[in-house]
Amino acid sequence: MKAVILALIIALCGLPSRADQDRVVQVEFSNPSLYPAQWTLVLHPDGSGHFRAEGGTPSKDYPETMSPGKIDRDVRLSPEFTSRIFKTVHEDKILHDKCESHLKVAFQGTKKIHYSGPDAEGGCEFNYSTNKQIQEFGDSMVAVGQTLIEGARLELLYQHDPLGLDKAIQFVVEASEDGRMQQICAIRPILERLEDDPHVLDRVRKQARILLARSGS
């Protein structure tokens, strides 16, 4: 009887069930030409997750650029975005290792996708997929990873090189406009700090406000 009542409460209130929370999507990305060179995002159906990034060598072309060499933190993505991710991963071509096109295309970075839950388990690995849905999924996840890395970069600059924020946040604004970065909501805390700090350049505070207005996307 208690189980029935609990199920009704979950259904009526939209609370995540235990089975739902046991579902996990893990995305691993690696590209030796980037810094950090690899990252892992573990995501749960409610949008909560954990992001780790490390490895690689800082670019010699831009030695003045301050970049986070290692990131290890909890993150939260929007419910709408997360729902699309879990729906896409449930496609048979992802769960049964049918992602890679095997075409001779430029290296875009290796994406390893894995899903586990009470209902199924599986995954795949690819550089490029001819399946539009899967390729867009990979592009979206790379864009989220870029957002989290650039958010960590903003935090680093805020602490150690405030003048470097001007160029860095302009890149975030441009990248969020053309789709290279997605889920700006995941870096709201640093954007709010920049917007509220009177010691930060006015241009940076203005850009932070623009990004916060987009943080639902």
Query: Residue 6: is its pLDDT beyond 90?
Result: no
pTM listed for this prediction: 0.88
Tally of structural domains, the chain: 1
Give the CA dihedral 112, 175, 55, 94, nearest 10 degrees. 0
Residue 60 counted as domain residue: yes
What pLDDT sits at residue 214? 86
Domain annotation covers residue 125: yes
Residue 5 lies in a domain: no
Torsion angle of alpha carbons 49, 72, 184, 25, nearest 10°?
Answer: -30
The interaxial angle of helices 165-178 and 132-160, nearest 10 deg, is: 160
The answer to whether position 87 is within a domain reads: yes
Domain assignment present for residue 124? The answer is yes
pLDDT digits (tens, 9 = 90+) for 178-200: 999 999 999 999 999 999 999 99
Query: Which residue would you say has higher pLDDT here, 107 or 3?
Result: 107
The 10s digit of each residue's pLDDT in 150-182 is: 999 999 999 999 999 999 999 999 999 999 999
27 domain residue, yes or no? yes
Task: Write the burial class of residue 104 (CB in 10 Å: 0-12 exposed, 13-18 middle, 19+ buried).
Answer: exposed
Average pLDDT, the chain: 89
201 has a pLDDT exceeding 60: yes
What is the residue range of 176's domain?
A: 23-213
Q: Is residue 14 part of a domain?
A: no
The string of pLDDT tens digits covering residues 54-108 is 998 886 655 556 889 899 999 999 999 999 999 999 888 899 888 999 999 999 9
Q: So what's the pLDDT on residue 59?
A: 67
In a domain, 50, yes or no: yes
Q: For residues 40 and 203, what is the distance between their CA atoms, to the nearest angstrom?
A: 33
Q: How far apart are CA 108 and CA 131, in angstroms?
A: 15
